[in-house]
């Protein structure tokens, strides 16, 4: 029997397609050239079925949606003690590019804000890793989750590196406080390459479904991360994934999630499914306008709110 899910997804897309509010990110010059009308959605269930509608094959840079996956990789590579000693797990209640360090320890408050994500990227692979080793680790890990070989959008990466003063300042502060001990430029270069990895909504859905499935890939059947790592990552996404809109998101949608400035939005509902949406126009928090509305609608229609 034909699944009703693709028709449902198409209907939700059709209902939101005329909403042109928000604006594409332009602090990374290359992102300002993105087609603002792209709109796609995909859902992968924990038993490995993917349904999608709209622009489901369009690639876009993963941006901050890389952060929970890099966190899962760092926990896997370096263990909980090393990661928690470097980055906290508390919501910052501030914008994604604020420094947001904890008072005494000077740890970044969480791995979803830029300061925490730069420190998390620094932990990838092994102590003393090179830029290439860290980026290769991110690429290999994200590709395993997506179940295909991913690559970097070199143009977006170059464009962001040319205007990365704010992230460079954050990295210099982290180095000053002893949170990282590699050169600030190297860590920001690696982090920016990680953010420039290209994905589709179908990739995001299956990547999110792996976290929802306690770390076991729903299509390949391989265990990609330990159960505790998947749980820790989902917990941090729940508290911090939507930055200073995290509380509103938790009350209105109630699904662990992460947004990116290229317009991607990832959801991961424990034990059930992963969701990927893309629509590049963003709200003031840097979250996709139609992506947020799409999630609100799906959460309400399908009773997906965790609470």
Question: Which of 52, 64, 92, 259 is labelled catalytic?
Answer: 64
> What letter does residue 216 receive in the DSSP assignment?
B
What single-letter DSSP state applies at residue 58?
-
Residue 167 C-beta-side C-alpha neighbours within 13 Å: 27
Which residues belong to the annotated binding site for substrate? Answer: 64, 114, 160, 167, 191, 243, 261
Catalytic annotation present for 8: no
Question: Whose Cβ is closer to ligand DON: residue 212's or residue 262's?
Answer: 262
**How many residues are there in the chain?**
307
What is the rounded (10 degree) CA torsion for 182, 183, 186, 187?
A: 50
Residues belonging to the binding site are 64, 114, 160, 167, 191, 243, 261
185-214: which residues touch ligand DON (CB under 6 A)?
195
What residues form DSSP beta bridges with 275? 43, 267
Question: Which string of DSSP letters, residue by residue, matches 117-154?
Answer: HHHHHHHSSSTT--HHHHHHHHHHHHHHHHTS---B-H
Tell me the closest approach of the beta carbon of residue 67 to ligand DON, in angstroms: 8
Is residue 27 flagged as an active site residue?
no
Residues 42-101 that bind ligand DON (CB under 6 A): 63-64, 96-97
> Which sign does the torsion angle of CA 82, 243, 230, 71 carry?
negative
Candidate residues 261, 265, 275, 289; the one interacting with ligand DON per rule CB under 6 A: 261
Cα-Cα-Cα-Cα dihedral sign, residues 161, 170, 111, 135: positive
- Among all residues, whose Cβ is closest to ligand DON? 64
Q: Segment near ligand DON (CB under 6 A), from 29-37, 124-132, 147-155, 258-266?
A: 258-266
Residue 122 a catalytic site member:
no
Please indicate whether residue 261 is annotated as part of the active site: yes
How many residues of this chain bind ligand DON (CB under 6 A)? Answer: 12
Q: Which is nearer to ligand DON, 45 or 259 (CB)?
A: 259
Closest approach of Cβ 216 to ligand DON, in Å? 27
Catalytic-residue membership of 67: yes
Query: Which of residues 88, 215, 256, 286 is near ligand DON by CB under 6 A?
Result: 286
| CA–CA distance, 220 with 13 (Å, rounded to integer) | 29
Question: Contact between 114 and ligand DON (CB under 6 A)?
Answer: yes
- The residue from 110, 213, 259, 299 that contacts ligand DON (CB under 6 A) is 259
Pick from 159, 167, 232, 279: which binds ligand DON (CB under 6 A)?
167
Q: How far is the CB of 64 from ligand DON (least distance, A)?
A: 3
77-82, long-range: CB within 8 Å, 24+ apart, which pairs? 77/123, 77/124, 77/125, 77/126, 77/137, 78/123, 78/126, 78/127, 80/228, 80/232, 82/123
Contact present, 76 and 229 (Cβ < 8 Å): yes
Positions touching ligand DON (CB under 6 A) are 63-64, 96-97, 114, 160, 167, 195, 259-261, 286
């Amino acid at each position: 029997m034909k699944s009703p899910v693709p028709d449902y997804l198409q209907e939700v897309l059709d209902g939101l397609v005329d909403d042109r509010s928000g604006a594409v990110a332009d602090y990374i010059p290359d992102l300002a050239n993105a087609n603002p009308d792209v709109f796609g959605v995909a859902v992968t269930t924990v038993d490995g079925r993917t349904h999608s509608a709209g622009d489901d094959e369009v690639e876009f840079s993963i941006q901050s949606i890389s952060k929970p996956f890099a966190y899962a990789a760092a926990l896997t590579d370096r263990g909980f003690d090393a990661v928690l000693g470097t980055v906290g797990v508390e919501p910052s209640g501030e914008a994604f590019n604020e420094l947001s360090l904890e008072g005494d320890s000077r740890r970044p408050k969480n791995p979803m804000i830029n300061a925490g994500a730069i420190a998390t990227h620094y932990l990838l692979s092994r102590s003393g890793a090179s830029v290439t080793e860290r980026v290769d680790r991110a690429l290999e890990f994200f590709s395993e989750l997506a179940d295909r070989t991913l690559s970097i959008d070199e143009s977006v990466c170059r464009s962001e590196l040319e205007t990365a003063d704010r992230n460079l300042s954050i990295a210099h502060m982290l180095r000053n406080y002893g949170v990282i001990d590699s050169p600030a430029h190297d860590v920001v270069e690696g982090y920016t390459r990680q953010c420039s990895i290209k994905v589709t909504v179908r990739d995001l859905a299956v990547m999110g479904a792996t976290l929802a499935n306690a770390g076991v890939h729903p299509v390949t059947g391989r265990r990609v991360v330990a159960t505790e790592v998947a749980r820790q990552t989902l917990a941090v996404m729940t508290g911090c994934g939507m930055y200073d809109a995290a509380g509103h998101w938790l009350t209105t949608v109630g699904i662990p999630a992460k947004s990116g400035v290229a317009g991607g939005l990832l959801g991961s509902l424990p034990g059930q499914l992963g969701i990927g949406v893309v629509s590049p126009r963003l709200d003031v928090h840097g979250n996709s306008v139609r992506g947020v509305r799409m999630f609100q609608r799906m959460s309400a229609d399908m009773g997906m709110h965790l609470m």
